């Protein structure tokens, strides 16, 4: 694929300062590689990329009262994210995940639990703060709610934001999900994003079809999703929004680091839906943003919308 047409450039670059309030719930952790570590966690990555797209995410998570927690809190503040709801706890250490890199989007993670984010609690005062922000979107994954305490926090937030569009990015991790939990989270979602491997798991959990378009259409019919996207790694993505379905080719790039690219894709997917773009434009833009992040080191590298458009 080549750089965007002039019409698409104008579409992608318009209203870049029109912020949308987003509540982001989930884990902050350090991705530990064989010879290095980097700050990550899908919710944090998503929040950082949503901020890069001009939105106003508020991250609900926790770090430990330990050196990794101090370093994480400083790094998150440096990303210019709202840390009002980022908690600190002495109950558990700051989260970590051992990363085993694989081809495409098949990177494996080994999560250490319990971790600081498992200690998140939401007070009445914080609920009121959230309500006053009238968030338009609520992002969540599976990992945080896989423990009873996290699920209770998630349910309380659902009740506090009845008008927010609920975006579920599955991010299934071994030992951190169940059929009943995933089905429950799918049922309350308005927008769903998952990869091809996760589609297979959802097929086994729910009986939804395995074909991309059939999965998207039947899932939307059964659960009431407004939009759903299956990422296909180097083959692009399959996306359904407002009844329109498209399969979009990926950008041809040299992948440097795939960690975080899926989270950038999710942020761009949401961005396109917020802007009410045609589904083909949403898919193309999300592919571009995911590709520009995958072409650089780190889950949250520096990038701009202009660079994604010019890719």
Domain that holds residue 160: 6-28+54-59+121-310
Q: How many domains does the chain have?
A: 1
Q: Is 231 exposed, middle or buried (0-12, 13-18, 19+ CB in 10 A)?
A: buried
DSSP class of residue 118 equals G
pLDDT digits (tens, 9 = 90+) for 15-44: 666 789 999 999 999 988 878 888 999 999
Q: Provide the pLDDT for residue 33.
A: 81
Q: In this structure, is residue 184 part of a structural domain? A: yes
- Of 62, 26, 33, 8, residue with least CA distance to 266: 26
Question: What's the CATH code of the domain at 271?
Answer: 3.40.1190.20
Q: In this structure, is residue 112 part of a structural domain? A: no
Cα gap 179→171, rounded to integer Å:
14
- Give the contacts of 72 (CB within 8 A, at least 6 positions apart): 28, 30, 39, 63, 94
Cα gap 113→93, rounded to integer Å:
9
Cα gap 285→272, rounded to integer Å:
8
pLDDT of 106 higher than 90: no
Q: In this structure, is residue 199 part of a structural domain? A: yes
Q: In this structure, is residue 110 part of a structural domain? A: no
- Give the contacts of 299 (CB within 8 A, at least 6 positions apart): 31, 38, 39, 40, 45, 257, 259, 260, 263, 293
| Range with lowest mean pLDDT among 32-36, 80-84, 165-169 | 32-36
Q: In this structure, is residue 281 part of a structural domain? A: yes
Q: In this structure, is residue 95 part of a structural domain? A: no
CB 295 within 8 A of CB 254: yes
Q: What share of the chain is helix, strand, coil (3-state, %, to 5)?
A: 40, 20, 35
Q: In this structure, is residue 92 part of a structural domain? A: no
pLDDT of 299 higher than 70: yes
pLDDT band at 1 (very low <50, low <70, confident <90, very high): very low
Q: Is the pTM for the entire model greater than 0.85?
A: yes
Q: In this structure, is residue 90 part of a structural domain? A: no
Q: Provide the pLDDT for residue 52.
A: 95
125 cis-preceded (ω within 30 degrees of 0): no
Percent of the chain with pLDDT over 90: 78
Task: Please report the DSSP string for 43-70 in residue order.
Answer: HHHHHHHHHHTT-EEEEEEEEESSHHHH
pLDDT band at 307 (very low <50, low <70, confident <90, very high): very high
What average pLDDT score do residues 217-222 get?
Answer: 98
CB 139 within 8 A of CB 46: yes
What average pLDDT score do residues 217-226 get?
Answer: 98
How many residues appear in the chain?
311
pLDDT of 3 higher than 80: no
Cα gap 209→219, rounded to integer Å:
9
What average pLDDT score do residues 183-206 get?
Answer: 98
């Amino acid at each position: 694929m080549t750089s965007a047409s002039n019409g698409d450039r104008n579409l992608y670059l318009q209203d870049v300062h029109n912020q949308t309030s987003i509540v982001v719930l989930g884990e902050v952790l350090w991705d530990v590689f064989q010879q290095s570590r980097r700050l990550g966690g899908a919710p944090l990555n998503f929040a950082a990329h949503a901020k890069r797209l001009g939105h106003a995410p508020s991250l609900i998570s926790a770090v430990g009262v330990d050196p990794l927690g101090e370093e994480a809190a400083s790094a998150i503040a440096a990303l210019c994210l709202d840390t009002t709801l980022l908690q600190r706890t002495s109950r558990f250490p700051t989260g970590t995940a051992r990363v085993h890199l694989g081809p495409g989007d098949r990177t494996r993670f080994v999560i250490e639990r319990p971790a600081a984010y498992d200690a998140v609690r939401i007070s009445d005062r914080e609920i009121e703060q959230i309500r006053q922000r009238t968030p338009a979107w609520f992002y969540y994954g599976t990992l945080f709610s896989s423990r009873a305490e996290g699920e209770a926090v998630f349910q309380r937030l659902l009740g506090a934001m009845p008008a927010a569009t609920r975006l579920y990015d599955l991010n299934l991790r071994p030992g951190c999900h169940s059929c009943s939990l995933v089905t429950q989270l799918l049922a309350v979602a308005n927008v769903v994003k998952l990869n091809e491997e996760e589609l297979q798991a959802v097929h086994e959990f729910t009986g939804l079809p395995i074909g991309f378009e059939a999965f998207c259409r039947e899932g939307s019919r059964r659960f009431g999703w407004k939009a759903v996207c299956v990422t296909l790694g180097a083959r692009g993505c399959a996306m359904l929004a407002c009844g329109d379905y498209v399969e979009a080719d990926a950008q041809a790039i040299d992948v440097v680091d795939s960690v975080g690219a899926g989270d950038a894709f999710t942020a761009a997917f949401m961005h396109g839906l917020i802007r009410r773009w045609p589904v083909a434009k949403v898919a193309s833009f999300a592919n571009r943003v995911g590709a520009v992040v995958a072409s650089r080191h780190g889950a949250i590298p520096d990038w701009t919308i202009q660079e994604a458009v010019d890719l």
